[in-house]
Amino acid sequence: MRYKLLAAASGLALLLGVGAASAKTLVYCSEGSPENFYPAINTTGSTFDASSRPIYNRLVEFQIGTTNVGPGLAESWQASDDGLTFTFKLRKGVKWQTAAGFKPTRDFNADDVIFSFERQWKPDNPFFKVTSENHSYFNDMSFPKLLKSIEKVDDLTVKFTLNQPEAPFVADLAMDFASILSKEYADLMLKAGTPEKVDQNPVGTGPFMLVQYQKDAVIRYKAHPDYFLGKAQIDDLVYAITTDASVRLQKLRANECHVAIPNTADLESIRKEGKLQLLDQPGMNIAYLAFQVEKKPFDDKRVRQAVNLAVNKKAIIDAVYLGAGVAATNPIPPVLWSYNDEVKDYPYDPDKAKKLLAEAGVPNGFETDLWAMPVTRLYNPNAKRIGELMQADLAKVGIKAEIKSFEWGEYRKRAQAGEHQMAQLGWTGDNGDPDNFFRVLLGCDAAKAGGNIAKWCHKPFEDLIVEAVRTTDMAKRTDLYKKAQVIFKEEAPWLTIAHSVQYLAAAKNVEGLKLSPFGAHIFYGVDIK
């Protein structure tokens, strides 16, 4: 069985390629374990890095290092003039990976595409509830309302028909949730009574095949020999799961791994010593504190505005981001088109915060929770410290905040259920379109059980972002999104914290490594010299 526990210490050394002189092994010190190997039910970068990106492909793909969409499993596509139908011509001869108990008898075809989407869409599909029925992206982006039909024209042609135009539709299909799974493998596992194995022992068409996984320790992949774009230059890919950023850097310096996300506090020393590569670019991300607007007193926007006024954001940026972040005003980053630079942020003004609290009927403040993420993320390098700084600021205006945290999977599950009053979270863009922030994080569909953990459903805002996605006129879309940002700032469902710079450290002998605007870590095309 491929999905199995590994031997401890001595076995780990062998796994990391010690003594394996013949094969090229690249070790990535990753920051967290995947929640599973089914991309469509997840939203975290660490899970996508481990599941979607090495193992699977999509109909269309982002060209590595860019937001440009190009061919993937579809070699071409055509849209109708009214924007309601998209016809994809699929590649011929794409080979599936193998797994324990499964050897494919056919190549990738239209049946796999239809299965991969209907699994997320149709409640009567036998795989709809396997692992989880919460297909976050599919639901948050309103795909159940958007899709009218998906038809197999022939083995190598698929036609999507929409109920209304959707400007970023093709870019959406390049996102991780749209990864294509093997219907033949799924049918076999269902017949065997083990459908969950599809998400535990994944089979894709991608450049790397999963070999072994030990939670919180290590993931090992082997290059897919029949990958349709050509076998990867590295033979073995290993994720050494290392949650502590300082330990990741130690391993990188000791040649125990080749690539790692560094701690912002270590950036200057990495630059000075010159022994490692340090890649950087502005991040397409946002860190924020969400207010659960269905709970008092956060149902009153004056309270939400007061919290914004009470927190010294500059002090947080200086203390935590250490030059690797800028204060966030809007829910989208400045690198994204339609950013409204005329919107002004809330200043640090505790006196005005107290006045707003008095107007809202809580002149003496109140007690609340303040959830801090248990993990380090590009957009939030130290959630606990940020929580402590917020806690101290809020105490000055009479708000007593208790910092809480949970295991990461539990944290996300509880936040999506709305159990918090205030919770830190963040986002890295998936497709270079503002819709990927506005609708997924702040839309009404996403407030039900998805990425909108503020549970904020505001009709004037919703009307603008829905209208924006229904037109392909870029000037009109830009105007609508700029108006939406004005409403967002006034209603204040979040305290926007920061947009971070994206950094990646690597050994000098690593070649071909590119930063992704989406924060993805992609190792196809990477070599070790």
Q: Dump pLDDT digits (tens) for 395-414.
A: 999 999 999 999 988 999 99
Considering all CA atoms of the chain, what is the largest pairwise distance in Å, rounded to the nearest integer? 71
Question: 276-282 and 236-240: which strand pairing?
Answer: unpaired
C-alpha pair distances (Å), 209 with each of 51, 86, 175, 206: 10, 30, 20, 7
* pLDDT for the residue 14: 39
Place of tokens 């809330």: 346
Segments in the chain below pLDDT 50: 1-21
Whole-model pTM: value is 0.82
* pLDDT for the residue 173: 97
Please choose, from the candidates 423, 447, 436, the residue with its C-alpha nearest in 3D space to the C-alpha of residue 495.
423
State how far the Cα of 242 lies from the Cα of 246, in Å rounded to an integer: 9
- What distance lies between CA 166 and its chain's CA centroid? 21
Please choose, from the candidates 359, 376, 318, 351, the residue with its C-alpha nearest in 3D space to the C-alpha of residue 503.
376
C-alpha pair distances (Å), 276 with each of 118, 268, 528: 45, 12, 14
421 contacts: CB under 8 Å, gap ≥ 6: 291, 292, 295, 298, 368, 369, 370
State how far the Cα of 217 lies from the Cα of 152, in Å rounded to an integer: 42
**Do residues 370 and 387 touch, judged by C-beta distance below 8 A?**
yes
State how far the Cα of 300 lies from the Cα of 79, in Å rounded to an integer: 45
The phi and psi torsions of 489 (rounded to 5 degrees) equal -70, -40
* pLDDT for the residue 332: 97
* pLDDT for the residue 22: 65
**SS3 assignment, position 260:** strand
Token pair belonging to 522: 């992609």
Domains and CATH numbers, the chain: 9-257+509-528 (3.90.76.10), 285-501 (3.10.105.10)
C-alpha pair distances (Å), 412 with each of 61, 78, 449, 453: 27, 38, 11, 9
148 contacts: CB under 8 Å, gap ≥ 6: 84, 161, 162, 163
Give CA torsion, residues 355, 356, 361, 364, to 10 deg.
-50
Positions of E strands within 80-132: 85-90
**Do residues 114 and 120 touch, judged by C-beta distance below 8 A?**
no
69 contacts: CB under 8 Å, gap ≥ 6: 60, 61, 62, 63, 170, 171, 174
Give me the sign of the Cα torsion angle 380, 381, 384, 388: negative
- What distance lies between CA 66 and its chain's CA centroid? 16
Please choose, from the candidates 120, 103, 115, the residue with its C-alpha nearest in 3D space to the C-alpha of residue 203.
103
State how far the Cα of 52 lies from the Cα of 35, in Å rounded to an integer: 12
Please choose, from the candidates 159, 38, 15, the residue with its C-alpha nearest in 3D space to the C-alpha of residue 87.
159
**SS3 assignment, position 159:** strand
Tell me the pLDDT of the chain averaged across its residues.
93
**SS3 assignment, position 521:** coil
- What distance lies between CA 100 and its chain's CA centroid? 29
Task: Transcribe 362-412 into DSSP letters.
Answer: -TT-EEEEEE--SS-BTTBS-HHHHHHHHHHHHHTTTEEEEEE---HHHHH
Beta-bridge partner residues of 501: 282
